[in-house]
Amino acid sequence: MKNRHIALAALLGLWLPPMFASDESAKQQDAIKKIEQAVDRTNIFELPSFQMKADVQIETQGKLVDGNYELLWNGPNEWREEIHFPGFVELQEGGQGTVWIQRSTEFLPLHIYDLHAALGFGSGAAFAGASSASLTQPILPQNATVRKLRKRKEHGEAQTCAEFADTMKRAWDVCLNDDTGTLARSPISFVDRDVQAVGGGKVYPRFLSFAESGKTLAQAAITEITSPAQFPPNSFSPPSGVSPAAGCMNPTLPRLIKKVQPQYPLSAKRDHVQGLVAFDARIGIDGTPKIGKLVARVSPDLERSAEEAIKQWRYEPALCEGKPVDVETVLRVIYSISY
């Protein structure tokens, strides 16, 4: 946590003049303070212990399917996460820099990835590289600069936003909900509401959802979140027959530092073929993605194009307690024709 505060302070120091006129200094410093507080307020993994239960849904074949989610957190050295849907079960057990994963598939399904994106955290580094997806590990690179501060309203809520840009000329907003003092994720993809106290000075939304192109892909209604929590004996026993791997519950997400744009095959454009191509993948400690199973299909030519491009992407690796680790995630390419 100490290193995160240092990195955050170093980045936020870039908000100093001459980017803003001197009469904006008070507003600037107030925004910095509120961002720091927002990061701390929703980082529930700073709590000694908690238990979270949720009714969850994922989109499958055009409809939302019901499931259950549970997370037991007894600090970074003892935690357990379970996800249950019809025909799918995932169990993760972790502690002391090690993770055991047991699931009913040999890959990370796309919509389980979507669920982690909705929840705002996850050992699978949900939404790898997206600075606005996490509620507990926001990405604020030290080489980013701040372009401007602005106000906006989303879903009737007042928000204060800082526009960042990095050396790859990518721009994104870090926004705060002025009423709750919490991070406000992109309204295009996320809906977070009913922010309530957890304990220990932390708060968290009781409803979270992730959408794409106006279609809800995953959502969670938190039915219980209790801190501190008491756990029965043997609550944190690693599953049998599973090999451990280096990792943690909530890694600092890998950051994309080199992106090669996929080519849009002429045959696909001619036939107006478009959609999402996605691969189960692992991002290694060297920042190189290792592509696994294809988890979202469109057409063979688009899939080949996406795979060729993704192989050339490079990342700053995910971190657990400051140490680089491999992480499993889903890497996506959206093909869209503008008319």
Q: Please list the pLDDT of the chain residue by residue as tens digits (339 residues).
A: 544 444 444 444 444 344 444 455 666 667 667 777 888 899 999 999 999 999 999 999 899 999 999 999 999 999 999 999 999 999 999 999 999 999 999 999 999 999 999 999 986 555 544 546 788 875 565 666 677 888 888 888 899 888 777 666 777 778 889 888 898 888 888 999 999 999 999 999 999 999 988 899 999 999 999 999 999 999 999 988 999 999 999 888 888 889 999 999 999 999 999 999 999 999 999 999 999 999 999 999 999 999 999 999 999 999 998 899 999 999 999 999 876
Q: Of 165, 183, 201, which marks where a domain is finished?
A: 183
Q: Given this model, what pLDDT does residue 155 score?
A: 80
Q: Given this model, what pLDDT does residue 10 score?
A: 42
Residues 103 and 178 in one domain: no
Strands of the 50-60 sheet, one edge to the other: 190-199, 202-212, 215-226, 50-60, 63-73, 79-85, 88-95, 98-103, 245-246
Q: Given this model, what pLDDT does residue 168 score?
A: 65
Scanning the structure block, which residue is given the tokens 């491999």? Answer: 326
Residues 82 and 214 in one domain: yes
CATH number at residue 323: 3.30.2420.10
Scanning the structure block, which residue is given the tokens 């989610």? Answer: 69
Which of 181, 177, 186, 173 lies closest to 140 in space, CA to CA?
Answer: 173
State the Cα–Cα distance between residues 162 and 28, nearest whole angstrom: 10
Residues 203 and 314 in one domain: no
Residues 172 and 302 in one domain: no
Residues 116 and 197 in one domain: yes
| Helix, strand, coil content of the chain in percent (nearest 5) | 20, 45, 40
State the Cα–Cα distance between residues 126 and 220, nearest whole angstrom: 15
* Peptide linkage before 18 cis (omega within 30 of 0): yes
CATH number at residue 89: 2.50.20
Tally of domains in the chain: 3
Residues 18 and 82 in one domain: no
* Token pair in block for residue 295: 């988890």
Q: Hey, how many other C-beta atoms are within 10 angstroms of the C-beta on 97? A: 16
State the Cα–Cα distance between residues 261 and 308, nearest whole angstrom: 10
Q: What is the DSSP letter of 252?
A: B
Residues 118 and 227 in one domain: yes
Residues 145 and 283 in one domain: no
Q: Of 216, 246, 276, which marks where a domain is finished?
A: 246
**Which residues in 113-259 belong to E strands, given as ranges?**
145-154, 157-165, 171-177, 183-184, 190-199, 202-212, 215-226, 245-246, 255-258
State the Cα–Cα distance between residues 91 and 70, nearest whole angstrom: 10
Q: Given this model, what pLDDT does residue 14 score?
A: 40
Count of alpha carbons within 13 Å of 302, Cβ hemisphere only?
23
Instruction: Count H helices and E strands in the chain, helices first.
Output: 5, 20
Residues 207 and 75 in one domain: yes
Domain that holds residue 84: 45-135+185-246
Residues 103 and 65 in one domain: yes
What is the DSSP track for 187-211? Answer: TTTEEEEEEEEEETTEEEEEEEEEE
Residues 114 and 233 in one domain: yes
* Peptide linkage before 228 cis (omega within 30 of 0): yes
Which amino acid type is present at position 36? E
Q: Given this model, what pLDDT does residue 129 score?
A: 47
Q: Hey, how many other C-beta atoms are within 10 angstroms of the C-beta on 1? A: 9
Q: Of 198, 219, 246, which marks where a domain is finished?
A: 246
Count of alpha carbons within 13 Å of 154, Cβ hemisphere only?
20
Q: Given this model, what pLDDT does residue 228 score?
A: 95
Residues 52 and 196 in one domain: yes
What is the DSSP track for 114-126? Answer: HHHHHHT--TT-T
* Token pair in block for residue 73: 């957190």
Q: Given this model, what pLDDT does residue 255 score?
A: 84
312 with 258: CB under 8 angstroms? yes
